[in-house]
Structure 1
Amino acid sequence: MIQLRYFVLLAMLTLPGWGISQELPPIQNFTPADYSSESQNWAISQSTDKIIYVANNNGLLEFDGARWTLYPSPNESIIRAVKVVGNRIYTGNYMDFGYWEKDRFGILRYTSLAAQMNDALVEDEEFWGILNLGEFMVFQSHSRIYSYNLGNNSVSIINSDSFLPKIFKVGQTVYFQKMNHGLFRIENGQEVLVYDQEPLKSDEVISIVPDDRELLILTRNSGFYKSQANALEKWNVAIDSLLNDISLYSGLQMQEGSFALGTISHGLILMDKDGQLIRHIDQISGLQNNTVLSLYEDEDANVWLGLDVGISYINFGSPFQVYPDSRGLVGSVYASAVQDDYLYLGTNQGLFYKNGNQSDFQFVEGTHGQVWSLDVVDGTLFCGHHSGTYVISEGKAQKISNIQGTWKVGDLSGKPNFALQGNYDGLYVLEKTDGNWQLRNKVEGFDNSARYFEIFGDQIFVNHEYKGVFKVKVDEDFSHSTHVRIDTVIRGSNSGLIKYKGKLLYAFKNGIFSYEKQQDKFVKDTVLSQLYSPSEYTSGKMVVDPKNGYLWTFSNASIGYVSESSLASTLSISKVPLTENIRNGIIGYESATAIEKEGVYLFGARSGYFTLDVKNFQENPIDINIGTVQIGGKNRVTTEKNLWDPNITGDFESEENSLQISYYVPHYNKYLKPQYQYQLRDIYPTWSNWSSEASVLFENLPPGNYTFNVRAKIGEKVSESMESFTFKIARPWYLSNLMWMVYIVGAILGSILIHSLYRRYYNRRQQKLIEENKREMELAKAQNEKEIIKLKNKQLQEEFRSKSNELAASTMSIIKKNELLAKVKEQLAANADDKDTIKPIIHVIDKSLNRNDDWELFKEAFNNADRKFLKKLKKAHANLSPNDIRLCAYLRLNLSSKEIAPMFNISPRSVEIKRYRLRKKMNLEHDDNLVDYILKL
């Protein structure tokens, strides 16, 4: 049975008879992660400055359009009710009710009213409802109703022995329901029974609104009831069978009279004031949860939903409507068209259609695959498809060409019953014969892809985004190309080509260019190029609307359109500030189609499409506010110590030179988000770039006076006024006036001291230089004396060397002379016949050999060469004879025994004997070398 009822409910929500529109207003969802709190949200209210407050499981949520702020409940319990009255935000939670007010820093501070009462609360009492009646605030729990007089703090209490679900305000009267008893109102502080009929006794009342002079009552499970002449009557509406099969939790009558009904498990149901179903919004169509705990309509007609998981708002007054295609029915929309009351969508999955009697799109059989275009030529709708070309009529497709890849179909100027189509591999001609279209021929001689083409003059212009613009001339029969040229000066990615108002336009990154026939080139159109800047460029796709004569363009920042001015035949530029990431378009394949409703256009997206009511689009005034001024910037806990009142001039110490300033625009529109721009005069005089960031951090500001200005824009509309905050950062203590006087006096005394120190320093330095010069002169003198001594030593060495040479020469001379005399003597003695005759000669030779003159000469030369040796020798060995000394002198010259023998006129053997005796006199050991010993003396 349950499954059957659910099936019936599902059928009612989807069948065409219910008239459900598939397009939905924009829905903005906030998850618990977005607002950093618990999931359930029980009530919503708005202040006069448009700030939203939400009663949440974890406390009170505040949303200013830029950021969420959580204020935990005073006793850490769930806040069930919230109501903004003036500057106070009244809340009710477990065992407490009271109000919040902003301090001078913009931070909410809580005051408990329950704590000021003389009467004690009921055990485990929770407050679920709050109403305002002038000087009275009414707080409702499930067992009591408290009327708190704000003037004298007095309280009147209505007790109930049965369950009190909710309270309602109708005019200045408070209504409430007692389960099992009926509906009551409060008169003069007392309860008065109004209705005790079913279902008001057993079925919970969800909402009560005035209906003329009577009441319209909505119940959870039984639908609507009207009070008629103090009697209760069922209000039968078209969706009664639906309401009987679902359970409601919240209800709201909106400003324009329709009803929003929040269900427990089926999302939101919208009903007009006559009881007809407008639309059903649930998780499939965009909500993040199907349990709607609370409903609230803000000042801009946005409806806020407090959900079991998260928070949402719906822009019911928005000029935008969305077909999100959450079920993936149609896919990415590349083209759209309206023909004979049929709406067609060309997508990556095929062609779909819907007429006025259908609630959702139907697939056109035989069109599976990529659709590139939908073009109306001579009253016929052509579908350009990856697999060929189709003629579309009343939701059916007839394939007329199997040539793969049809980009576009356009008319042939001056040739009725003919059409020109661009394909992957060139241009083709279509012909209508006997009311039927068929492929006629290919234009031979041109084989390039022809996604964009236009006939202008006597040429066919074909845009190729990578090669440039082809200019093709064909014969009269459109069978052959007679001349093909290519203009490579202008070309670019995603570029577009189209005819508009008698002009041939080419759009790419550098702007929109118009073809000048006389110059045979494209020239930049300064008016149309205002549609986008090079930095905003994403696509050169242009769409001409034949219905209203609009030219549509698409940039990263907006959708632009051109129309004729109503005052003159000039072109008017308009922009709709829908950014590329918001509209989720297919770059390079954008589409715009005027549908049946006047001023409403359909735009394709990557998933489904959205519509825009151009005539209903307006940019409301922008109210920019400064939120908080925080000293110290990011990553600091927000406390009273580091906050400053933004309404008074800031006076900060030198160490408080880092400030974070937040600002906001209380604007709630999913597709039109505010952007901010700021300047800090006296240091950053130029305005910053536009940004969605709603705060700015200034760090390490130098001392001085500053004025911070901030302004906002939504789309192209900039706020007429700007918010300012003036502040001063003091100089540090070491730069104060007193310290400057100290610095000046210190500088004077310091200069005197420095002068004195420098003078003493230079005197010492001068004295030191004098001493150093003296020392250097003494060193130089010593060096000179050293050089002199060195030169003298060198001279002595030279003299010594000379003397030694003389000694050696004289010694050798004596040796040679004695050897010669000895040989002469031997020759005479051996060869003389007359011994007596040669005896005197031999005597003379012997006398010459034995003469002491040679020794004296040698001695004198030896002393000159080695003066100290003989003295050392005599001192060491006083017992030596003159011949011993003479022998030592010869040995000092390192002469051999053979060389010494002629000096003594003896044999070498005798010299050895002399050497032996000399060793004895010198007491040398057997191993001691006599010559070495003498050389070492």
Structure 2
Amino acid sequence: MIGQETSFKSFSVREGLAQSQVFSITQDNQGYLWMATQGGGLCKFDGKEFFTITISEGLLSNTVNALSSSGDTIFAGSNNGLSILSSKRNSVIRSIPLSEPVRILKKIQKQLYVVTDQHIYTFVGDSLQRITEEIDLKNFIPEDLFLMDTRLILSTNKGMVSISDLSDKILPEKIETKHITKVVSYQGKLLMGSYGKGILVFNKSGNGYDLVKDTLEMFQDLIITEIFVDRRINLWIGTQRKGVYRYDANDKKWEHFGENEGLSNDHVKCIFEDNWNQIWIGTSGGGVNQYSGSQFLHYTENSGLNGDYIYSVLKSKVGELWVATSGGGVMRINDTMNYVYNGKTGFHDVKVKALFESKNQLIWIGTEGKGMSVYFRRSESKDLKREIFVQSFDTILNFDSGKLFPSTLWVNCFAEDKNGEIYISTLGDGLIKAKVMLDTFPRIFFNKLKVRGRGEISQRINHMFFNSKGDLILATNDKGIGILSKGELTYLNIENSTVPNKITSIEEGANGELWFASEKGLGCIIEDSVVFYRKISGLSSNNIYQIQSDHLGYVWVGTEKGVDRLKLLPSKDLEVKHFGAEEGFTGIETSLNASFLDSENNLWFGTVNGLSVYQPKKIEKTNAPPVVFFNSIKLFYDTLFSETSDLEYHQNSLSFSFGSVFLPAPDKVKYQWKLKGFDSEWSEPSDNSSITYSNLRPGSYVFYVRAGVGEDWSEPIQFSFAIKKPYWEESWFLIMVWGGGLVVLIGVVLLFVNRSRKRGRELRDKLEMEKSLIELEQKALRLQMNPHFIFNSLNTIQHLIIEKDEKSAKYYLSKFAKLMRQILENSRERLISISDEIKTLENYLIIEKFSRQDFEYEIVVEEGVDLDEDILPPMMIQPFVENAIIHGLKGLKERKGKIKISFISGDGYIQFEVEDNGQGRENAEKQKSQIANYHRSTALSVTQERLDNMNKGQNFKSFEIVDLKDELGNPMGTKIIIRVQH
């Protein structure tokens, strides 16, 4: 039989406790623990930090002996009287000095009693009242106050006395001790703790009590300092030198917790149960201990194991615990003995890596280097087939023959099929199958397994089991996951996913899913698809050492950081609950494949620091979630509010600060909040304990906040407030504004209509005038030839006359007169034919060529062009021809200038082109000639506007200027393109 190490978490001076002697503990309505110390004052604790109140903050004395609470009010009895504190304010709100120390504070039937070394008081209103003036306790040492039937009884160093009559002796005269320290009614009996004589047990008898036992044997001669009954009716006994004892009301068994079991000090002064059913044990010299219950029991060398590193574990059907440790061999543990099988007891001093129980209750043991052994529950045996039975000692049979294991003597794991045949995984020899015959003598027949199919059995099988379909599932070191079904072996190949070759552990989940451990983390095969989970999925680590399913459908994985309990959700996400040192799993780092689910649904986990067991039947879940409260509610980070507020419209930025206390796991508390009237859903769970809402609209709001751990959430607390509308959003103001606005709108509309009518008339008159002006301008443009052209032409003709070249003078004079006449005639028309435009252009070009003698020209008319259709506005092309001659051909030295005028029929339009081979627009721009004149020319601007109006609604460009260049990109002239619809 081995002892167990219980998970206690201790808090003392190093953790922030003001002093290591804790004589009393209580809890306020927000969940904070208050602890009375002997010299350090009063400590308030939220599970993480201590807040200390001393005489500097108004406490009467730093030596506090007793505590009681009511809501957020704390009563502290000290050596100098009674201090009353507010938990919310963290301050003393009233002091009642006394000349004698307060020893006991106890609430009985809603009445607070205060017991000092000399008197007994009740707290009424804001003051203390003595019960009777006659009672004087100078000759007594008060220990405890309780109600016996209808009498108020005080236990003292001289026995128990009635408050109404100190001469009324309650105890029978025959008992050995009169010094009673604590009194509790428990399961119909009266238990009395004594000073040095253990616990006295009394039965109710008439108006009194009869002694049943002088003392319970285990408490004989002990000084009892505390007797406490928790909410589960478990009995706790505190002692002065032996720690604490716990009686489990369900199991009817006693447990002892002392310094060897993790208690910080064996001198217990007080025991308290908090809102979450946790037990807090105050000690004299060891601070306070937190006991969360037996979620995990832990066993180490100190408990009786022969080593702390656990390689394999098994709980047999008969209740015996088998453990393989770093101490060598294997241990068999039951209620009466711890037996170690090693080299001295017929086994081997080697590492045992596999323990397995078959259906016939044989224990199979796999070793590293010494083959395997089988434990029979009877001592007689017989030589086995093929002379592989070497020796027997009592009930252990060892199989270490080279005939059975030709390549190696390493056995990794076992599995059993539905027929009771055992499959043995070896290192180097593949799978061996064993058949057991149990009749008069046990017989075992071994055969090396041969399989069909393409796959060969891996020589390194790390783990294996038979699944719910009866197939053998193999986790191999080099071939991934193997499936042996009806003698045929295949290796798993999942489409579009890669299952690693090295699989260290494998297990089947509650719904047939396959969980496995690999270098990629934790894998799960679900409906022919593979999902991998890592730390980002919520796991505590990517290193998976154990996988174990339980009876509730959870999957447990062991890592170097503890164990994670997993629940697979329909979305294929994981719900993870971690168990580490804080949760009582003190072994922390788990061992490879050293886990086991026993017949009582207890989970056993081997670690590098001992053996841990999780007992779900003993876990009494508390439904108490964290306690949540407001720390402050502020307006613009300044003003503090009460429970409700009505705010002006500009007071629309509020900050809410909140907190909570959850002593079982203070670091795991999350918050959710919602502002009704603004938020439609609860926020996501968050670590943040404050939230600010800015620029809120007028309206009614309710702010809710709640605290939770995991799936357990507190009832939300709330703060209601309303933000008033600004006066400009009030109904009366809106009616006034809308009414006035309507009157103004009507006036504006009428004014706009009148102005529009007047403006329309003025606009029509203006348009008529502008139309006339435009027509006059058009005529003027048609008449406006370049003054230089007219002057040069007349000067040339005059020169011919002077030179007596009358023939040439007459010819050019005739051409010039004809040109002027054509311009005047065409100016009267809105549109002219292409034929008339060509005649005008020819006369103009003849005169220009005669004047300059430096260029040639060509007029080309393509087929399909109707020369007689009136389509072209007068003087449309001439300005561009003139511009090309004057500016485009100016300064041309390397080639002779040429002007080409083309008339081309297009799709729905006639295209006119004026092309020169001159210097181009870039050079002309340098000389501030051609481009500047293009853009500044009024004729050009008017021409383009006229073309746009004529071609309105068409999908072709009316006007384009194209720069012509040679193969080297040098300027070679300009082309003007004009398009007119027909």
| TM-score under structure 2 length normalisation | 0.56
Tell me, what secondary structure is at the counterpart of 1:99? strand
Equivalent in the alignment of 1:358: 336
Equivalent in the alignment of 2:25: 44
Equivalent in the alignment of 1:392: 375
State whether structure 2 residue 58 is matched by structure 1 residue 83.
no
Residue pairs, 1:915-926, within 5 angstroms = none
State whether structure 2 residue 289 is matched by structure 1 residue 312.
yes
Q: Is the 8 A contact 2:415 2:422 kept in 1?
A: no
Q: CA deviation at 1:577?
A: 2.8
Pick aligned residue for 2:566 from 560, 572, 581: 560
Q: Is the 8 A contact 2:198 2:221 kept in 1?
A: no
CA distance in 2, matches of 1:430, 1:298: 56
Q: CA deviation at 1:253?
A: 3.4
CA distance in 2, matches of 1:360, 1:427: 33
CA distance in 2, matches of 1:175, 1:613: 41
Equivalent in the alignment of 1:406: 411
Pick aligned residue for 2:462 from 451, 459, 472: 451
Q: Is the 8 A contact 1:258 1:273 kept in 2?
A: yes
AA aligned opposite 2:354: S
Q: Is the 8 A contact 2:278 2:291 kept in 1?
A: yes
**Higher gyration radius (CA):** 1
State whether structure 2 residue 377 is matched by structure 1 residue 383.
no
Equivalent in the alignment of 1:859: none
Equivalent in the alignment of 1:882: none
CA distance in 2, matches of 1:494, 1:675: 36
AA aligned opposite 2:463: Y
Q: Is the 8 A contact 1:292 1:306 kept in 2?
A: yes
CA distance in 2, matches of 1:610, 1:127: 45
Deviates more, 1:71-80 or 1:433-442: 433-442
Q: Is the 8 A contact 1:494 1:541 kept in 2?
A: no
Equivalent in the alignment of 1:714: 709
If each structure's helix is expressed as a fraction of its own residues, which one has the higher value?
1
CA separation of 1:65/1:42 partners in 2, compared to 1, >3 Å: closer, same or farther?
same
Tell me, what secondary structure is at the counterpart of 1:341? coil
CA distance in 2, matches of 1:645, 1:610: 51
Equivalent in the alignment of 1:206: 181
* Alpha-carbon displacement from aligned partner over 1:511-565 (angstroms, at most 9, x marks no partner): 654488xxxxx52489xx99994756643843356xx5967332778313799xx
AA aligned opposite 1:295: I
Q: Is the 8 A contact 1:294 1:306 kept in 2?
A: yes
* Alpha-carbon displacement from aligned partner over 1:857-911 (angstroms, at most 9, x marks no partner): xxxxxxxxxxxxxxxxxxxxxxxxxxxxxxxxxxxxxxxxxxxxxxxxxxxxxxx
* Alpha-carbon displacement from aligned partner over 1:49-108 (angstroms, at most 9, x marks no partner): 544322123222223445433222513421110012344321100111132234xxx223
Pick aligned residue for 2:272 from 289, 296, 302: 296
Tell me, what secondary structure is at the counterpart of 2:259? coil
Q: Is the 8 A contact 2:30 2:629 kept in 1?
A: no
AA aligned opposite 1:63: F
Equivalent in the alignment of 2:308: 331
Equivalent in the alignment of 2:143: 166
CA separation of 1:588/1:490 partners in 2, compared to 1, >3 Å: closer, same or farther?
farther
CA separation of 1:531/1:618 partners in 2, compared to 1, >3 Å: closer, same or farther?
farther
CA distance in 2, matches of 1:643, 1:282: 52
Q: Structure 1: where are the runs of 5+ without partners?
A: 1-15, 116-120, 517-521, 564-569, 634-640, 730-937
* Alpha-carbon displacement from aligned partner over 1:315-342 (angstroms, at most 9, x marks no partner): 34x6554446655734244433222331
* Alpha-carbon displacement from aligned partner over 1:103-161 (angstroms, at most 9, x marks no partner): xxx2233244534xxxxx44xx3212112245743222333333343377533453223
CA separation of 1:50/1:192 partners in 2, compared to 1, >3 Å: closer, same or farther?
farther
AA aligned opposite 1:141: T
Equivalent in the alignment of 2:117: 142
Q: Is the 8 A contact 1:26 1:314 kept in 2?
A: yes
Q: Is the 8 A contact 1:507 1:541 kept in 2?
A: no
Tell me, what secondary structure is at the counterpart of 1:507? strand
Q: Is the 8 A contact 2:75 2:83 kept in 1?
A: yes
| TM-score under structure 1 length normalisation | 0.59
CA separation of 1:531/1:439 partners in 2, compared to 1, >3 Å: closer, same or farther?
farther
Residue pairs, 1:655-670, within 5 angstroms = 661-666=657-662, 668-669=663-664
Q: Is the 8 A contact 1:224 1:234 kept in 2?
A: no
Q: Is the 8 A contact 2:184 2:227 kept in 1?
A: no
CA distance in 2, matches of 1:495, 1:703: 58
Residue pairs, 1:369-768, within 5 angstroms = 369-379=350-360, 380-387=362-369, 388-393=371-376, 397-401=396-400, 403-411=408-416, 417-423=421-427, 426-432=430-436, 435-437=442-444, 440-441=447-448, 448-453=459-464, 462-464=474-476, 468-469=480-481, 489-491=498-500, 496-498=505-507, 505-508=514-517, 512-514=523-525, 522-524=528-530, 533=537, 538=542, 539=544, 541-543=546-548, 552-554=555-557, 558-560=564-566, 577-580=577-580, 582=583, 583=585, 584=587, 586-587=589-590, 589=592, 591-595=594-598, 597=600, 599-606=601-608, 607-613=610-616, 618=621, 620-626=623-629, 628-629=631-632, 644=640, 647=643, 661-666=657-662, 668-669=663-664, 674-678=668-672, 696=689, 710-715=705-710, 717-719=711-713, 721-723=715-717
CA distance in 1, matches of 2:30, 2:577: 25
Q: CA deviation at 1:437?
A: 3.9
Q: Is the 8 A contact 1:422 1:453 kept in 2?
A: no
AA aligned opposite 1:44: I
CA distance in 1, matches of 2:120, 2:507: 70
CA separation of 1:541/1:185 partners in 2, compared to 1, >3 Å: closer, same or farther?
same
CA separation of 1:438/1:214 partners in 2, compared to 1, >3 Å: closer, same or farther?
closer
Equivalent in the alignment of 1:127: 102
Q: Is the 8 A contact 1:400 1:439 kept in 2?
A: no
Q: CA deviation at 1:166?
A: 1.2
Q: Is the 8 A contact 2:96 2:127 kept in 1?
A: no
State whether structure 2 residue 292 is matched by structure 1 residue 280.
no
CA separation of 1:206/1:297 partners in 2, compared to 1, >3 Å: closer, same or farther?
farther
CA separation of 1:362/1:663 partners in 2, compared to 1, >3 Å: closer, same or farther?
farther
CA distance in 2, matches of 1:214, 1:175: 16
Q: Percent identity?
A: 13
State whether structure 2 residue 8 is matched by structure 1 residue 33.
no
CA distance in 1, matches of 2:108, 2:182: 18
CA distance in 2, matches of 1:56, 1:656: 46
CA distance in 2, matches of 1:507, 1:644: 56
Choose between structure 1 and 2 for higher RCO, CA contacts under 8 A separated by at least 6 residues.
1
AA aligned opposite 1:264: Q
CA separation of 1:707/1:585 partners in 2, compared to 1, >3 Å: closer, same or farther?
farther
CA separation of 1:439/1:252 partners in 2, compared to 1, >3 Å: closer, same or farther?
same
CA separation of 1:590/1:669 partners in 2, compared to 1, >3 Å: closer, same or farther?
farther
CA distance in 2, matches of 1:36, 1:178: 31
Q: Is the 8 A contact 1:495 1:506 kept in 2?
A: no
CA separation of 1:428/1:532 partners in 2, compared to 1, >3 Å: closer, same or farther?
farther
Deviates more, 1:377-386 or 1:352-361: 352-361
CA distance in 2, matches of 1:33, 1:367: 47
AA aligned opposite 1:714: V
Residue pairs, 1:763-842, within 5 angstroms = none
Q: Structure 2: where are the runs of 5+ without partners?
A: 378-393, 402-407, 724-982
Equivalent in the alignment of 1:875: none
Give the number of equivalent residue pairs.
Answer: 661
* Alpha-carbon displacement from aligned partner over 1:419-476 (angstroms, at most 9, x marks no partner): 3324377444445476344765487975642102457899975434676335789989
CA distance in 1, matches of 2:571, 2:444: 37
Tell me, what secondary structure is at the counterpart of 1:131? strand
Deviates more, 1:215-224 or 1:718-727: 718-727
CA separation of 1:267/1:674 partners in 2, compared to 1, >3 Å: closer, same or farther?
same
